[in-house]
Structure 1
Amino acid sequence: MAATSITAASAGGGGRAHREGPGRGPSRVGAWPVLFIGPLMLGVAVFYYWPIITNLIVSTQRSNAFGGNPTFVGAENYTDLLTSADLPSAIRNTLIYTVLVLLGIPLSLAIAAMIELPGLRLKGLYRSMYFMPYLAMPMAVAQVWKIVFNGDFGLLNQLLKSFGIDSPPYWLVTPGWALLAVAVFGVWASIGFNVIILSSGLKAIPRELYEAASIDGASGWRQFLSITVPLLSPQIFFLTIMTTIGGFQLFDALYAMIGRGNPAEPHTRSLVALFYRQAFQNSAQGQGAAVAVVILLFVAVVTLVQFVGQKKWVHYV
């Protein structure tokens, strides 16, 4: 009885009965979540979901050069797109570029691991040096790389000639080399962001794990493979997702470095460049919208596959 009285008193706040008024229980929070989340969700709906819905509608129509007098044609735009010779090459170029740019993640991991070596001074300076190019305007930086890859007076060809290569390729006008040159720029442009993300992950790994592995006789390479890479797998997975999405959005580097009238342009055309060509150069908004739907589907499918596959190799602490 005494224990029961004490429990009742403590639960009731000094013997007073604790009653919840109607509508004031702990599960009722009122309209506050809507007030806080509502503006954000409204912005997402207006600037993300509504353009997707509008694009789907436009992809089933045909209109004049200014987008007027739309006529419903059903799946005709998709049929023309799937039977054209431009779509397979655009998909191939986009996939090749994306795979090449993904190679920048292991390179960034090696750079981040060197920056975070114990005892290294000026780590903040090194991180800033690698991150600063990421803040530059992509179009402006692409123009600099266009000069670097110039076949006549570019820095790269001058360097190759100094090593005895008399006839280096004209990188940006040769179909076999132009896409590779753009991918090199893509790798360089992504290193700064990758290094910052991976460095933050490396700093979160406890040093005790490396000390224990050293006592057990594990070499530095074994520690890197067995400790660093598994514990960095969430950051690597995040960068893989972001790099893949960025690869499927390739356009600005192609526009700045390859441009129009280049003999290599048809051989380097990406999906977004195909969208630009159909929607703005050919004034076929319906077919351009169909290309945008194809890009959306590709990104969704690849991202879904990555999320399903990450269960086997991503380790969350």
Structure 2
Amino acid sequence: MLPTLIGLAIFYFWPVIQTAYYSFTSWGVFGGAEFVGLENWVDLLQSGEVPRALINTLAYTAMLLLGIPISIYVASLLNRPGLRFAAFYRVLYFAPFVSMPAAIALVWGMIFNSQYGILNQFLGIFGIPAVFWTSTEWVALIAIGIVGIWSSLGFNIIILGAGLRSISPEMYEAARIDGASNWRQLISITVPLLSPSIFFLTVLSVIHGMELFDLIFIMIGESNPIRSDTQSMVSLFYRQAFISNDKGTGAAIAILLMLIIGVLTAVQFAVQRRRARLD
């Protein structure tokens, strides 16, 4: 285990320690860290940007979690016995997950474009006026959430599909004999037996959602008037550390985000252990 532990210490633990130290320092334009104590943290907590960025990040994370029930339903359809071209459908769903996030953001940015986007063109057929998808505050977050759900759907389906194939078909057959509908089978058999896979996807979705950056950076853009109203925690970190060149405050944001993710993950594990004891 020693080579693995050395690699973890060099590439994971030491950078975290360095970043934690830098959060108590102030950096000049040409480098040189000066210890300033809690000044960065006080400025960060007093800033109005942090609460808004955190709310935006949590809202996006919540939308990603909404994608898990959708994934369960789609995965159950793809695992129906006798479904033709099931492997082809899985490839189609999985393709967005392995695509470059920048490319996905560019394509969806064109789809959501208020002037020539195909979505507004489609809505115009029904007489619905054009929607400013990426330049209206909360609408932009919803648009980004839709892209996030779409791009993560394939990975969720693969994980849930593996769990579905481990469920004995005899359980569904017995339920059908007892008169259970397809919906009842989904609620009473599929979802409870998929709880380990659902928990795994929930943890990953929370971590992935809290790290939102690329979709906002490309779809919203730096010149957008709602940029500051839709930024995430990572966007705020990027702006402080690399645009404003305030690397001390940027390090503080990174540590704060790590602590928030750690707390959310710990809560999820605690809830899962409690559910396991009750079961």
- 1:213 and 1:154 map into 2 onto residues whose CA distance is 47
For residues 52 and 11 of structure 2, what CA distance do their matches in structure 1 show?
A: 31
1:169-202, Cα deviation, whole Å (9 max, x unpaired): 2111111311111111111110010011011110
Q: Which residue of 1 aligns with 2:38?
A: 75
CA distance in 2, matches of 1:145, 1:313: 39
In structure 1, stretches of 5+ residues that fail to align are 1-36
> Is the CA contact (8 Å cut-off) linking 1:60 and 1:74 kept in structure 2?
yes
The DSSP-based 3-state class of the residue aligned with 1:63 is strand
Contact 1:174 1:263 in 2 (8 A): no
Letter in 2 for 1:108: S
**Equivalent residue for 2:121?**
158
Larger radius of gyration: 1
**Contact 1:58-1:286 at 8 Å conserved across structures:** yes
Distance across 1 between alignment mates of 2:179 and 2:150: 36
Please state which structure has a larger fraction of its residues in helix: 2
Q: Do structure 1's residue 126 and structure 2's residue 126 form an aligned pair?
A: no
The higher relative CO (CA closer than 8 Å, separation ≥ 6) is in 2
How does the TM-score come out when normalised to structure 1? 0.85
Q: Which residue of structure 1 lines up, in the alignment, with residue 9 of structure 2?
A: 45
Shift, 1:312, TM fit: 4.0
The residue type equivalent to 1:38 in the other structure is: L
Show the counterpart of 1:296. 258
1:102 aligns with 2:65: yes
Identity %: 49
Per-residue deviation, residues 216-260 of structure 1 (Å, max 9, x unmatched): 222222111111000101001000000100000000111111110
Residue from 160, 165, 178 that aligns with 1:216: 178
Give the structure 2 partner of residue 23 of structure 1: none
Partner of 1:241: 203
Q: Which residue of 2 aligns with 1:12?
A: none
For residues 55-94 of structure 1, the aligned pairs below 5 Å read 55-68=19-32, 70-94=33-57
1:66–1:253 distance in 2 versus 1, CA, 3 Å: farther
TM-score of the two chains, using structure 2 as the length reference:
0.97
User: What's the CA shift string for 1:241-281, capped at 9, x where partnerless?
Assistant: 00100000000111111110101111111000010011001
Deviations 1:105-156 (A, max 9, x none): 1111111000001121222111111111211101011100000000001011
Counterpart of 1:6 in structure 2 is: none
Q: Partners of 1:273 and 1:261 in 2: how far apart?
A: 14
Letter in 1 for 2:217: Y
Q: Is the 8 A contact 2:97 2:155 kept in 1?
A: yes
Instruction: Give SS of 2:135's match.
Output: coil
Provide the alpha-carbon RMSD of the alignment. Answer: 1.3
Kindly provide the amino acid, as one letter, of the partner of residue 19 in structure 2.
N
Matches within 5 A, 1:1-317: 37-68=1-32, 70-165=33-128, 167-313=129-275
For residue 293 of structure 1, report the CA deviation from its aligned partner: 0.8
Please tell me whether the aligned partners of residues 96 and 152 of structure 2 are also in contact (alpha carbons under 8 angstroms).
no
What CA deviation, in whole Å up to 9, does each residue of 1:26-79 have, x standing for no partner?
Answer: xxxxxxxxxxx22212111111111100000100111102332x1111111000
Counterpart for residue 5 of structure 1 = none
Paired with 2:38 and 2:122, the residues of 1 have a C-alpha distance of 52
Runs of 4+ in structure 1 displaced over 3 angstroms? 312-315
**Conserved 8 A contact 1:109-1:198:** yes
Question: What secondary structure, in the 3-state scheme, does the structure 2 residue paired with 1:172 have?
Answer: coil
